[in-house]
Each structure stands twice: as C-alpha cells, then as structure tokens.
Chain A
Amino acid sequence: MSIKETCHCGSVEFTLQNDPMMHFACHCSDCQKLWGNSFFGYAYSTDDISITGEVKKYSFEGGSGNQLHFVFCPECGSKIHSQPDLIEGMIYVPCGMLKEHYEYEPKVEIFSANKASCFAQLKATAESYEHNGTIERISELLENLEQR
C-alpha cells in the first residue's frame, strides 16, 4: 500500500510505502521542544518515504551523542519526519500527519520519567522505558521486519 500526504500548506508532498514498523512515543526533552510536546508517531524505513518539494533540515546532537535530523517545510514549519543516526535506516513520522490512515496505538514509550503527568496512562502502551529503550526498540523493529 501507499499513502500520499502533504504538509499543512501543501508545499511539501510525501509518499509512504508499507505500513509503519512500530507505533511509539518518546518523552525526551528534545522531542518535547521540537515537536511541541512528546513525540507520538510511527517508525518507518528510510526506503519507505519519498518527498517532493523543498524541505529544510535541522540537525543536532542528541543525548546518545549521535546526530538527530528534523525535516520540515520551510513555508509552514510542519515537521514531516525526524531521522536518528542512532538507529540507521529509520525515520519517525508524527501520527498527526497520518491521522486519516491509522489509529495510533503506541506499544512502546521511552524516557517515560520525563513525560507530562496528563500522559500518565497511555492506553495501549505495553512497554515503558525510563531510558532510550534503543536495544528493545531495534529488537522489535527486527521482529516486525520479518513480517513485511
């Protein structure tokens, strides 16, 4: 399957192949600042996305010491996805972008100790880590990859 979506103003258009490999939430301070609150979204392979239109990229060093890149529309500021060097080959797309296509049900949340108290009980969350949960998330991604 293939999904076509745009940023808020429509200047950037992107297509996603395949279903998301994981629904997850990240409550780290960087996400809270850059996404406006915790990150709620999906993990995709970098091969799954293709973008048309001009985008800008903002990169910085995350808590692990690896770079994290944010891709956004320079017109309206909508963030299309982020891309961590920590887990090579993956991008994260916010769930708000794909609201028409999926019911967001995060199974994993990371940096849980940092989340706002109103998110205390995310309904479907099965695994909650106070750290970056990277090893656990990669294991799950590998499992999900088998089923593709």
Chain B
Amino acid sequence: MSDLEQEIEKLKKENKKLSLESKLRKSMAVELDRQKDLLRQATEEVEAQKEKIEGISLKLSRYLPVQLYEQIFSGSLDIHKKSERKKLTIFFSDIVDFTSISEQIEAEEISEFLSFYLTEMSTIAEKFGGTIDKFIGDAIMIFFGDPQSEGDVQDAKNCVDMAIEMQNRIDALQPYIRKQFSFPANLKIRIGINTGFCNVGNFGSTSRLDYTAIGRGINVASRLESEAESGEILVSENTKILLEDFFEFTSERVVNLKGLPHPVNCFNVSHEKSLNRESILGECFKLVINDSNLSDNDLTKLKAFVAKYSEDSSKNEPKADPN
C-alpha cells in the first residue's frame, strides 16, 4: 500500500469515527429530550393527581368535623384506636316548633333556610373550637374535649360561650330570617348542655366508621335540650359547677329526664357574655376578681389587701436559729 493509500485509509477511518461520534451525540441529545419529556409528563400526572386529591379532600372536609379532618390529613389519626373515655361537654340544640314551621313554608325555602342556619351555627362552633358531631335535620350535636381539649373548665366555658353567641346571633338575624325565608314567627332555638364522661372515638362496622361520642353524658345533654324553654340555654349541675366563676346561673329546677333513673338539677344560663373574671385558688383562700366591673374604690381595697400580705410576709419566714 502506497503512502497516499495509507493516508486515504487513515482519513476514511477518522471520518467514520467522527461520523459515529456525531451519531452518538445526536442520540444522546434525543434521549435526554425524551427523558425530559417523560419527567414533564410524570410531573404533570403527579400535579393532576394532587389536584384531584385536593378537590376530593375539600369535598370530604365538608362532611367531617374540622378537627377530625385535620387529624386525618396530617396523618395523626389512628383508625385502629376504637374509643377513649373522656370528659366532654356536650351541646344539643334544635329549633322550636320546626315541624309546624316546615308545614307553612315551601320545601325549597326550608332547605335554603336550613343550609343558611346550619352554616351560621357551624361558623360559631368552629370559632369556639367545638367538634360538630352531627346534624339531625334542624338539630345540632357538638362536643368539646376531643380530639383537642383545653381542660374541663375551658372546654365547658367554650361550649357555653358558643351557646350564648348562637342565641345572640339568632336574635340579631331575626328580621333577616323573617324576610328572606318568609318565616311565620320569630326563630327560636333551645339548647341543652351537660358535662360528663363519655366514650369518644370510632364506632361502627369494619367498613363504615363514625367518629362520635356515646354514653350517659350525651343522653343527659339531649334530654336537657328537650326540657329547655324557647330561647333558653339549660345546663346540668355538672357543667354549672365548673363555670360558677364565669356565668350567671338562674332558676334552678329539678327535672326528670326520660330514660334516666334519677332527677337532674339544671340551670338556666344568662345570655350575657362570660364575665371577665380572674380567679386564684390557694389551700386556704379563693380570690375571684371581676375586672370588667372593678371600680376605683374596689381597686384601692384590693391593692391594700395584697400590700398587707406582701409587707407582712417576713413574719411567716422561719426565725434564724439563735443557737
């Protein structure tokens, strides 16, 4: 082979190499594009799935108590945990004479009214942290103390504060309701509240669970609601004991509640908002201050009282041992 032929062979080989290199680089670019495309498709699918799940969970959230929904979606809910015994404050309400009112109003208006009414009440319940257990027609069951609790007293206080705000809200909405839904009479609701131990958790069959509370405490609250007068908030003695520092309770009465062996003492709660009271309980004293009505005179007395104990505190200190 001549030098020239050798040179030509070498160039041919070089040319083939360059041509293959160019093909390989092109294939790599095509493959990178394909993979990018796959990634984009996968991302789009994930986004679409995410949107779908968000849509579903949003719909689902309207069928569940807010607290329960949050527990489910944060993953903290254990569905295998059946139920727990807890001290709850339970609220029942219903609309006075709703059956006869429904007879006098068109079905569409009733349905619109119920939606409006339950939305108004739910907003208030959520504001106070109540767990809306269920709606039964116009009746509402709410409890405080599960899944989250702020302690027996605060749970009960939140419940009564909520009940007062509901009654006041209904009074405020009266003209609107009469006009908007052609109500024949003023809308009035009755409310029953009880505090007691209940079993709260997941009840039902293996395929369909209901998060709810059961027990005597629930029955008492429900019966108190039936006993309540129009526009009244009727609470059991158990609830009153927890809240004596915060509300005005009037007209004690003893009622025999259907299905319960013993009569129950119950009290009407004034619709005034909870008093702005602060209390401190020691072993030998109890001090309650209603600072919303604290006059200058009261304040002076209070300061003098506290000062007396701070000045004399040295006398209670153990004397130095003379030995």
Interface residue ranges, A against B (CB under 8 Å): 45, 47, 64-65, 86-90, 134-135, 138-139, 141-142, 145, 148
| Most chain B CB atoms below 10 A, which of A64, A88, A139, A148 | A88
Check A142–B24 contact: CB distance below 8 A: yes
Contacting A at CB under 8 A, from B199-242, are none
Check B17–A145 contact: CB distance below 8 A: yes
Check A89–B23 contact: CB distance below 8 A: yes
| Most chain B CB atoms below 10 A, which of A64, A135, A138, A142 | A138
Which of A64, A65, A89 touches B24 (beta carbons < 8 Å)? Answer: A89
Q: Which residues of chain B come closer than 8 Å to A135, judged between CB atoms?
A: 28, 31-32, 35
Q: Which residues of chain B come closer than 8 Å to A90, judged between CB atoms?
A: 24
Check B17–A148 contact: CB distance below 8 A: yes
- A to B CB contacts below 8 Å, 20 in the list: A45-B16, A47-B16, A47-B19, A47-B20, A86-B27, A86-B30, A89-B20, A89-B24, A89-B27, A134-B27, A134-B31, A135-B28, A138-B27, A138-B31, A141-B24, A142-B21, A145-B20, A145-B21, A145-B24, A148-B17
Complex CA–CA separation, A45 to B23 (angstroms): 10
B25 on interface, CB distance cutoff 8 Å:
yes
B82 on interface, CB distance cutoff 8 Å:
no
Contact with A along B26-41 (1 / 0, CB 8 A): 1110111011000000
Complex CA–CA separation, A7 to B26 (angstroms): 32
Contact flag A64-B34 (CB < 8 Å), given A45-B16, A138-B27: yes
CB-CB nearest 7 A-B residue pairs: A89-B23, A88-B23, A138-B28, A134-B31, A87-B27, A89-B20, A47-B16
A148 to chain B, nearest CB (A): 6
Residue of A nearest to B15 (CB): A47
Q: Which residues of chain A come closer than 8 Å to B19, judged between CB atoms?
A: 47, 89
Complex CA–CA separation, A86 to B25 (angstroms): 12
Q: Which residues of chain B come closer than 8 Å to A89, judged between CB atoms?
A: 19-20, 23-24, 27
